Structure 1
Amino acid sequence: MIDASKGMDVPLPSVLLVDDEPNILGALNRTLRREGYRLLTASDGNQALALMQNEPIDLVVSDERMPGMDGAELFGHIQQHWPDCRRLMLTGHADLSSTIRAINEGHVYRYIAKPWNDDELRLTIRQALDHQQAERERRRLEALTQEQNRELTSLNAYLEERVRARTGELQQLADMLELAQSELKHSYVTATQVFSTLINQRLPSQLQTNTQVRDLIKAFAQTHQCDDELTHSLLMAASLYNLGKMTWSDRLLATPSDALTNVDRETYRCYPVTGEGLLMSLDHLEETARIIRHHHERWNGSGYPDRLKGEQIPYGARLLGLAVDFIELQRGMVLQRRLPRDDALKLLRKLGGRIYDPELCEAFVTLCIEQAPDLGVDGKVVKSLDTRHLEPGMVLVRDLHSESGMLLLHEGKQLTRDLIERLIRFEETEDTHYVLWVKLPDDDAE
């Protein structure tokens, strides 16, 4: 047995030559000794298999016909135990059955006929080993890829778990912040209610308008589906809009705005700015402060303090201005006489397009006519209904007079089915039509 590469440091491809004829083995050794292989030899199949038990073999070159175990049987054993080893068959016979058996059982890489061409033999072995090396590299890379995929899968699972854990932490933090924000907003609402109460303590009872203004704003926001932030700012502004009046004298507080002297008028016109200034330091009331500052601006630009015109006026300020003027007209705080509710609504509608946003004014007047939130009593809804839509249990909140001025029903009267039917018959007899302002029963209150 010859080991031509013994003593070399770099592992070389191991090639096992198997033939029962020593001269053939010698010829093969001479042909391949300069190719840089580690050459080993065996004289039969059994010796070759014993050698392969102890030596790593990359390629076997075997004669087809040998005593005992022929080449096809040898290659069958090699295929079973060392499938990665490449196999080349040397044959000098045209035995078709042996050829088929070697192909089926031994998976022969290639046949080489005797006598062989040295260059062809060297090229064939080189190609076989190159193919083997490429296949090994493919398997190595495939195994590496699978291992990396397993690692990536494991890493992804770890990252997903970390993301879930972090997401849970962030959600907890967000919930805590939302709770803190909610508590802070609640604190501002509570403080606003306190301020509103203090304002009312300062004002005569007939000049305490905050509650009615707030009811109007709330009803309008609900009916027209204003967003939550705007609604919140508007309700705060409705509660605090006259905060700037707290520095006024009792005389100025009781004087209608159209009866003010020039000096008093300048003081009067400063109260929206004063109110804004008192709220500006509170971060969550910035929009509220802006609404209060501009609620006396006018659609035609004649208002104050900044003479804004048209849509330059913040939407919330336009709405607050309508609600404030509507209530204060009825309280005698604008003109030197109190306007009846219906007359105040007519005046608002008349001034739409000059003093008020025309579209907003029309929507506001319609709300007041159909729902009358400013007439609410003890938090209950008041509506304007004709006799056909009345229900037993409703309570009148305004006296009902006939067209001749005769009192038909007084404020506070609770309607019954019989009373409603008599009203309908009276309408038919008089050929007229009545609209009643009623408070809804407790179980229908919104």
Structure 2
Amino acid sequence: MEEQLPTTVTDKPKLLLVDDEESILNSLRRLLRGQPYEVLLATSGAQALEIMAQQPIDLVMSDARMPNMDGATLLAHVHQRYPDTTRIMLTGYADPSAIIKAINEGQIHRYISKPWHDEEMLLTLRQSLAYQHSERERLRLVQETRDQNEKLKLLNATLEKHVAARTSELQQTADMLDLAYEELKRSYVTGTEVFSLLANLRLPPAKQTNRQIIELVRVYCKLHGLDEGTSRDLTMAAALYNIGKLSWTDSMMSTPSDLLHHNDRERYRGYPKQSESLLMTLDPMKDAARLILHHQERWDGSGFPDRLKGEAIPFGSRLLKLAVDFIELQRGLILERQMNSDEALVYIRQYAGRLYDPELVEDFIQVCATYLSDVTLADPMVKVLTTRDLVAGMILARNLNADNGMLLLNAGKVLNGPLVEKLIAFEAMEGAKYSIFVKVPEEVAILETS
């Protein structure tokens, strides 16, 4: 595999268009004129590979049928040598075998049929490059965190307490990222929870909301037997509903929405759309992104961004608004006064039919009552243990979070000996004492009492 330096943030993305018909290349060049791209052209696969050997390319779009080296073969070479380059195939005829070869060997991101629709072509290029940029940024941030952590280890232990505390926090973050890495690969759901809790570090613990909203939504899904896909979308939406707020100042993030001034209020009304825009480039997140887009709509049509009314608002968005408002009212993020849970439910009932779906409100209040009464403890198989009481084979009944809110392990994880030892060591390093909710299978309980 040949290494290819990524295009820097300030450079225009480089697009390489490959087609043996110059008329097609000229049409594409005219279409992309005025777009923020640097466009390179090649009339054969061999010429395309020569160009890529000389400079980094962000996206290659190749015609499927070309002499000597067809598009599928070219894209397979690109995937092998430059896996970071986005690959798109342009085909003017129905050839399933060529498409299958391109998908299997070239791992193309998309294919577009000739003749193409100009707007669809431009949208596909924008979305492909946006996804590529977000993935590069994620990898850069992970590497930057690890690099900073290594530098911090070299600091003298006698630095003032603030620096030492910050060093410890970054060390914990790096350790938790390593611990969460395997879980990230299992599902987008876990990945969104980790990211949302990292984002929550912008706020003091008393203002953080995402973890409680995730847990509340999960209880609703479980009690109502919602299908796996709906539950997954709702959980991801709960985890990332406020990702569009990350560009705000710290002051604006912690100010109750009712106290925001005019300019800040307009920016506040734009955060659902901003959140949706950041997530729409990720295919597994599209349904969750739609729920986020409409979670500030109101039953009477006075909400935003689209002033949807009644059942025109997606069910998941109506439920998410109830969960968000219930928690944010208790955090002082809506009104200046922080409410307790009972006051928040009275407020929600008061505005049923105006802000909230009136038929959903009473159902939601019952779920909150179950959520607040510790639903996991109603299961006789669930026990609350310390880390030193854990035994291999036990199953986490709740997400395990560090004291600062970071997700360590997600519910459903089966514990083993090495993982228990790591938890004990991490608890000691953090100076914390965890209460861990676990399900104890019958065979594990027998081993403990034998």
Q: With structure 1 as the length reference, what TM-score do the two structures score? A: 0.43
Q: With structure 2 as the length reference, what TM-score do the two structures score? A: 0.43
Larger Rg: 1
Larger relative contact order, structure 1 or 2 (CA cutoff 8 Å, min sep 6): 2
